[in-house]
Amino acid sequence: MNQNDESAESRMTAAVAEGDSPRPQVTRRPFRNTGVTLPLLGFGLMRLPETEGKIDRAAARKMVDRAMAAGCNYFDTAYMYHNGESESFVAEALGKYPRDSYFLTSKMPTVMLKEEADLERIFAEQLQRTRAGYFDFYLMHWLNAAHWEVAQRLKLYEFMKRKQAEGKIRWIGFSYHGEPEVLEEIARAYPWDIAQIQLNYLDWELCRSGEQYEVLTRLGIPVLVMEPLKGGTLVRLTPEAVKILEQAGPEAGVASWGLRYVASLPNVQVVLSGMSEMTQVEENLATFSPFRPLDASERDTIGRALAAYRRAGAVPCTACRYCSPCPAGVDIPRNLGLHNQVKGGLSLFHAKLVYDAMPEKQRASACVACGACQKKCPQKIAIPALMKEIAGEFQ
């Protein structure tokens, strides 16, 4: 287990950069009073590049190496990411680095738990897949009111404390999608080290993320940010909103506005970005090396872009796929994405070509309004109603 994280981090950076010209390093923030610093930018391993439905390991390894060389050494995986492949990719991509040169987070999938024996089985599988020996951070994955009930019934916190005592977990936390009231109940239940919430400028009010941030800050729990760009929504926005951001910062990418918005909050510990290609890695590293908080006029710019986006009436789908699979076979995020492209200016003619090319059962018109998806959507999108609207739009 790490005895001296600061020196380990320095060794890692020096080892990777040896022979190269010095590279800018990602800004870091102290983690509580542990003596450890964490990079403000973390690498989310849930949207890695893929070929034929599998992780493109060669491309993804290069991205991880680039991140490590820039001091972006916090990696976030989970049992369910890439259907389990994300955790085994960790072994391949990070196995060559000293274990104390990076921070690894994984999560217990509360949605899959049936009985107490599942905890030991899944945790052992995660250690075996990642070959990491231990997790720096281990989180209860995807808590909400229902999953919190499961976690308590199966004594998940007590299980995690046992693993911590065995040296298999360093710090304990949870990830959360839900209302701030339940978050407060969970946050008060145990002395958590960290919590992961969805935070971005679109969700600040829409999903009451601002209230969630304030609950955690008030209770002294550092925040890991997921979906800072709302699954890419804040990069695409609408043409008018993108133009506002591009005119205000011609050199900065549109993504940098969303990342800087959340990283400017003082209780944010790490901003996770699910990077899918090397250009995103480079852009994100540039935003955080070094990080510069937003000033008042930049905040105003985001406000104007947000107002333009809302005027266009796009649906806030992050393409997380928590709603899937649909029992009728509808590809929900794809239909919503197409709908948003139309709102953003794509002609109905061109959108209909794409829609008609989809297999019939994947189209919005195949929805039987069973409502199963809606309960699972963290964004609380009225999916059945929208499927009806989209089907009509493309009829």
What percent of the residues of the chain are helix, what percent strand, and what percent coil, each to the nearest 5? 50, 15, 35
Does 384 sit near ligand SF4 (CB under 6 A)? yes
Q: How far is the CB of 127 from ligand SF4 (least distance, A)?
A: 29
3-class DSSP string for 44-104:
ECCCCCEECCEECHHHHHHHHHHHHHCCCCEEECCCCHHHHHHHHHHHHHHCCCCHHHCEE
Q: What is the DSSP string of 218-287?
A: HTT--EEEE-TTGGGHHHH--HHHHHHHHHH-TTS-HHHHHHHHHHTSTTEEEEEEE--SHHHHHHHHHH
Helix (H) or strand (E) holding 304: helix 296-312
Reported for 365-368, long-range contacts at CB under 8 A and 24+ positions apart, including other chains, are: 365/391, 365/394, 365/395, 366/328, 366/329, 366/330, 367/326, 367/328, 367/330, 367/391, 368/328
d(CA 31, CA 220): 12
To ligand SF4, the closest distance from the beta carbon of 317 in angstroms equals 3
Does 326 bind ligand SF4 (CB under 6 A)? Our answer is yes
What would the x/- binding string for ligand SF4 be over residues 291 to 320, using CB under 6 A?
--------------------------xxxx
233 binds ligand SF4 (CB under 6 A): no
Nearer to ligand SF4, 80 or 372 (CB): 372
Q: Which stretch binds ligand SF4 (CB under 6 A): 60-68, 148-156, 296-304, 362-370?
A: 362-370
Which one, 328 or 354, has the nearer CB to ligand SF4? 328
Binder of ligand SF4 out of 72, 169, 379, 390 (CB under 6 A): 379
From the list 333, 339, 340, 390, which residue makes contact with ligand SF4 (rule: CB under 6 A)? 333
Distance, in Å, from the CA atom of 81 to the CA atom of 197, rounded to the nearest integer, reads: 17
Task: Give the nearer residue to ligand SF4 in terms of CB position, either 276 or 379.
Answer: 379
Dihedral of the alpha carbons of 177, 82, 375, 236, in degrees to the nearest 10: 70
CB of 374 to ligand SF4, least distance (A): 7
Of 65, 377, 391, 393, which lies in the binding site for ligand SF4, with binding defined by CB under 6 A? 377
Site for ligand SF4 contains 226 (CB under 6 A)? no
Only one of the segments 42-50, 90-98, 165-173, 364-372 lies at the binding site for ligand SF4 (rule: CB under 6 A); that segment is: 364-372
For 136, 167, 202, 319, 392, the CA distances from 336, given in Å and listed in that order, are 36, 44, 17, 9, 13
Query: Measured from the CB of residue 142, what is the shortest distance to ligand SF4 in angstroms?
Result: 11
Instruction: Please identify, using beta-carbon distances, which residue of 193 and 227 lies nearer to ligand SF4.
Output: 227
Other beta carbons less than 10 A from residue 320's beta carbon? 21
**Which of residues 97, 159, 204, 322 is near ligand SF4 by CB under 6 A?**
322
Taking CB under 6 A as the criterion, the residue among 189, 307, 348, 370 binding ligand SF4 is 370
Q: Which stretch binds ligand SF4 (CB under 6 A): 18-26, 57-65, 235-243, 370-378?
A: 370-378
Establish if 387 lies at the interface with ligand SF4 (CB under 6 A). yes
- The enclosing H or E element of 149 equals helix 145-153
Candidates 37-45, 168-176, 204-212, 381-389; binding stretch for ligand SF4 (CB under 6 A): 381-389
Q: Pick one of 321, 350, 361, 375: the residue that binds ligand SF4 (CB under 6 A).
A: 321
Taking the complex as a whole, how short is the minimal distance between the CB of residue 130 and ligand SF4, in angstroms? 26
Taking CB under 6 A as the criterion, the residue among 111, 328, 351, 391 binding ligand SF4 is 328
The C-alpha atoms of residue 224 and residue 271 are separated, in whole angstroms, by 6
Q: Report how many residues bind ligand SF4 under the rule CB under 6 A.
A: 28
List beta partners, residue 268: 223
Place of tokens 């005895």: 3
Please choose, from the candidates 289, 283, 230, the residue with its C-alpha nearest in 3D space to the C-alpha of residue 258: 230
Residue ranges in contact with ligand SF4 by CB under 6 A: 317-323, 326-328, 330, 332-333, 336, 367-373, 376-377, 379, 381, 383-384, 387
